[in-house]
Structure 1
Amino acid sequence: MSGGSVQSNPAREWVEAKPLPGGVPSLSMHRPGCGVVSLQIWIGAGSRMEDRWPGAGIAHFLEHMVFKGTALRTALEINREAERLGGFLNAYTSYDRTVYHIDLPAAHAAEGVDLLADFVWSPTLAEEGFAPERDVILREISMYRDDPDSYLFDAVMEAAYRRDLLQYPVIGLEERFRKLTIEDLRRFHAQNYRSAKSFLLMAGDLTPELMRRAGAIVPVLENEENLSGDGRDESGGSEEVPAPVRLHLRGDWEGGRGMALFQVPTRTVREVLLAEWVVEVLTGGESSHLNRVIRVEKGLAHFLDGYVYSLGSTSLLGFSWLAEDEHLDEVETLLLGELERLAEAPWAEEDLARGKARLRFGGLRQQETVEGWASRGGEWFANLGMVPSWAEEHAVLQDLDAEALRQFLKSYMRPDQAFAGQLHPEGNA
């Protein structure tokens, strides 16, 4: 992996958060002697903050455009410099954030933060780069529409969220995307890229020169808040509760697909770990409860998986499955029925312990690379404003029990709270 494999030693690691001289928050995650650094700039603006351009995908478009050059570097020079430093440069956009990152040898980290800060915070956003990159994204939109899992997910989200920008795909809708101008991108950048919801993350073998350079080049904070809004309409300050949905769609794809989503709270370390533990207990591996019942015993699905997708203070806890068309309804009914039954039923200690063991090992495996450790730390810091130690995570996880799991299912994962959908092969009902 690009972050480099190292042996994690929690006793020699520490984390500190503080504003840099210009006011931009920073998170420093120290792992002395590992020889690797991951530098990340987290921008607190994703597709959910596009209220002036709803459904246009402007956050994702801007992610592409900042790589097109600055007053100091052309697009080609940005990539050449990253490669000269031995670095791996990339970015992604989601509903609530855009993240730029470079992983490179610690010896070149000071130059790396200079490069990253330059093109993220000071892009020229020139007119000549606009049309070619728009064509690139139009091709991405076309490919995205041809993916059955994306098609089903977007349809379910659109039906469930009627007052929230979560109803739109991150990449945007083609007809709205085509209306964007270079001035729109400049405005979105000015509003969001130097706000208090953005931060610089540095993880790994952090040298004094890197820390000095970061403090000198990171820009002055301009916006105390993210000015593009929070993805909700103007009718109220509370987060929208998604509508219960049961969709049946048809498409020209082989095999049937289904999914069920639930909105769950992730405002504390306990809530985050509880949601992740629920997923492991229910769908983590062949011996997990739902895989055992639906796939092994009943033989109804070819594949069944679960996941937690962070939206900030809440997350989507979801299940996806592949099955023959005639079994899609049965899988959905059985899955939702099991969730309802398990909210009242006793749990085998073996199932609960197995889920914790998988979750602990997954965390350790992620921390083996500086890149993975940094990404996990960034998630915590972006959503909770802090980063728990591995010992703190372990203690919280140990304290979770069957009653916590039952209460979670009863409170947030009832059948009447699900927004679900099925994608049937063309020609079938």
Structure 2
Amino acid sequence: MGLCHGTLTAIPSGPVLDHRTLQNGSTLVTAAIPDAALTCLDFWCRGGSAWERSGEEGIAHFLEHMVFKGSRRLGPGEFDRRIEALGGSSNAATGFDDVHYHVLVPSAESKEAVDLLLDLVLDPALEQDCFSMERDVVLEEIAQYRDQPDDQVLQTLLELCCAPHCYGRPILGWETSLRKMNPGGMRNYHHRRYQGANCCLSVAGTIEDGLVSHVLNSPLAALNKLTDEDLKGTTKPSLSFRCRRDSRTFPRLEAARLMMVWPVASADDQLAIAGADLATTILAEGRRSRLVQKLREELQIVESIDMDVTTLEQGSLVMLEACCPEDQIEQVEREIHQQLENSLNTAITDEEFHRAMQLVGNGHRFSLEAPGAVAASAGSQTLWGRHRDLLAPLQDLMHWNASSLRERVIPLLQPQRSFTLIARSEDNA
């Protein structure tokens, strides 16, 4: 027996967020989870690859590597050793829009972990010897990425549909730019981006007594406030996008790919993102979704087909990927077009809508079960000025119904609005 609509859309309680803006514009957000044995400290910065200037392509990701090579007070490897000695772990990730560094430690050790994390991130040594060695590591990472056919299909797709916008460039950067970089240029980038309102510290888990005041008197509060000149570079152009069709071959590609991409609302339009999540779930998530049911279960012409939303600050992307035998690619494209066009005039049933609400809603609920996920969600949203409750996305879902999805979202996901890439194996060309 299926769950009723009321059960699917019930809004449970979640950790309460406490936001603080420091005098220099940097922010602190805390989410108390009293029963958690661990505390996650997650430092976020508006310092992803989208902020790179000409000649800096790849510096954001390279800097992430260099940060872990030590600060002026922490030698190479010392940060990792001391975090591990506290019983914790650390990691980092660079995206298009932002970069974040996080540690997960026993709650009693959170003050010391704050000191270690902020020292490492805000005062990196960027020494020449480590710089040269780590550049080789990044160049090898690019070589490995280039050797992965699936990764190359995705990067080619983004370049074709988004370039010259920054989302069309690889986050790892370009070899020519990386080879010309030096520690001085990286210090300039760090100083430009890792300041004031560009930075946010998110804390989730058990909040030890005195931890908040400790952060408020930490190097986070000593960062420079962004000047009017700095703020001139904080506004980025909206996503540029091409709607057309292309076909390329790739070495060692095991199965043909049909890739379709659509531009949708930027991350600050949370209601629109919720609608896109629901629509893509109805179309291509799970065996009961329309495209999976038709192309994989009924016609059996695809090995896999899925569709999801990548939320980005300058314009989000809906991406569909279908893998199939090469001799089926034309039929696959025809059937996808037909199903998308049919969706314009086919009502979304109560069963389809309730299923999408359940999958999207539960996906969000389950993502907030651990301090690390809570800190990441709170930090990302706070960094971009969205001081929202953790469960606000569930309220966003409630603004949609079957009719509004069909009338307002499905028309955006039609073939003529997409960029389509047909990817075939070079070996079969």
What is the TM-score of this pair, normalised by structure 1?
0.90
- Specify which of 33, 36, 40 is matched with residue 35 of structure 2: 33
Q: C-alpha distance in 2, partners of 1:114/1:292?
A: 52
**Do the aligned residues in 2 keep the contact of 1:29 with 1:202 (CA within 8 Å)?**
yes
Report the alpha carbon displacement of residue 247 of structure 1 after superposing the two structures with TM. Answer: 2.1
CA deviation digits over 1:362-381, x for unaligned, max 9? 11211111111222223333
Helix, strand or coil at the partner of 2:217: helix
What is the 5 A alignment of 1:242-391?
242-253=241-252, 254-265=254-265, 266-383=267-384, 385-390=386-391
Helix, strand or coil at the partner of 1:68: coil
CA RMSD, Structure 1 to Structure 2 (Å): 2.2
**Do the aligned residues in 2 keep the contact of 1:256 with 1:422 (CA within 8 Å)?**
yes
Q: Return the letter of the residue paired with 2:174.
A: L
**Do the aligned residues in 1 keep the contact of 2:165 with 2:240 (CA within 8 Å)?**
no
Helix, strand or coil at the partner of 1:304: strand
CA deviation digits over 1:213-245, x for unaligned, max 9? 21111242425276694695xxxxx51430113
Match of 1:143 in 2: 144
Q: Return the letter of the residue paired with 1:48.
A: A
Q: Return the letter of the residue paired with 1:404.
A: S
Match of 2:123 in 1: 122
**Do the aligned residues in 1 keep the contact of 2:16 with 2:389 (CA within 8 Å)?**
no
CA deviation digits over 1:172-225, x for unaligned, max 9? 122222222222111100000114122111111112222122111124242527
CA deviation digits over 1:252-296, x for unaligned, max 9? 222212221111113233222222222222222111111111111
**Do the aligned residues in 2 keep the contact of 1:192 with 1:228 (CA within 8 Å)?**
no
CA deviation digits over 1:66-98, x for unaligned, max 9? 111112111211110110111110000011011
Helix, strand or coil at the partner of 1:90: strand
Report the alpha carbon displacement of residue 410 of structure 1 after superposing the two structures with TM. Answer: 4.6
**Do the aligned residues in 2 keep the contact of 1:280 with 1:355 (CA within 8 Å)?**
yes
Q: Return the letter of the residue paired with 2:372.
A: E
**Do the aligned residues in 1 keep the contact of 2:259 with 2:420 (CA within 8 Å)?**
yes
**Deviates most, 75-84 or 367-376:** 367-376
Helix, strand or coil at the partner of 2:406: helix
Q: C-alpha distance in 1, partners of 2:210/2:120?
A: 20
Aligned residues with identical type, % of pairs: 27
Helix, strand or coil at the partner of 1:191: helix
Report the alpha carbon displacement of residue 52 of structure 1 after superposing the two structures with TM. Answer: 3.2
Where do 5+ consecutive residues of structure 2 fail to align? 1-10
The answer as to 2:213 corresponding to 1:212 is yes
Report the alpha carbon displacement of residue 60 of structure 1 after superposing the two structures with TM. Answer: 0.3
Helix, strand or coil at the partner of 2:210: helix
What is the TM-score of this pair, normalised by structure 2?
0.90
Report the alpha carbon displacement of residue 33 of structure 1 after superposing the two structures with TM. Answer: 2.9
Report the alpha carbon displacement of residue 27 of structure 1 after superposing the two structures with TM. Answer: 1.3
Helix, strand or coil at the partner of 1:208: coil
Match of 1:18 in 2: 20
Report the alpha carbon displacement of residue 388 of structure 1 after superposing the two structures with TM. Answer: 2.6
**Do the aligned residues in 2 keep the contact of 1:152 with 1:422 (CA within 8 Å)?**
no
**Do the aligned residues in 1 keep the contact of 2:26 with 2:200 (CA within 8 Å)?**
yes
CA distance 1:10–1:36, change in 2 (3 Å): farther
Where do 5+ consecutive residues of structure 1 fail to align? 1-8, 233-237
What is the 5 A alignment of 1:74-223?
74-217=75-218, 218-223=220-225
Report the alpha carbon displacement of residue 334 of structure 1 after superposing the two structures with TM. Answer: 2.4
CA deviation digits over 1:15-63, x for unaligned, max 9? 0111135541111112223222111111102111112335x21100001
CA distance 1:227–1:331, change in 2 (3 Å): farther
Q: C-alpha distance in 1, partners of 2:215/2:315?
A: 32
Helix, strand or coil at the partner of 1:292: helix
Q: C-alpha distance in 2, partners of 1:332/1:195?
A: 48
CA deviation digits over 1:279-316, x for unaligned, max 9? 22222211111111111111111111222212115211
Report the alpha carbon displacement of residue 146 of structure 1 after superposing the two structures with TM. Answer: 1.2
Report the alpha carbon displacement of residue 115 of structure 1 after superposing the two structures with TM. Answer: 0.8
**Do the aligned residues in 1 keep the contact of 2:247 with 2:422 (CA within 8 Å)?**
yes
Q: Return the letter of the residue paired with 1:396.
A: D
**Do the aligned residues in 1 keep the contact of 2:17 with 2:389 (CA within 8 Å)?**
no
**Do the aligned residues in 1 keep the contact of 2:22 with 2:221 (CA within 8 Å)?**
no
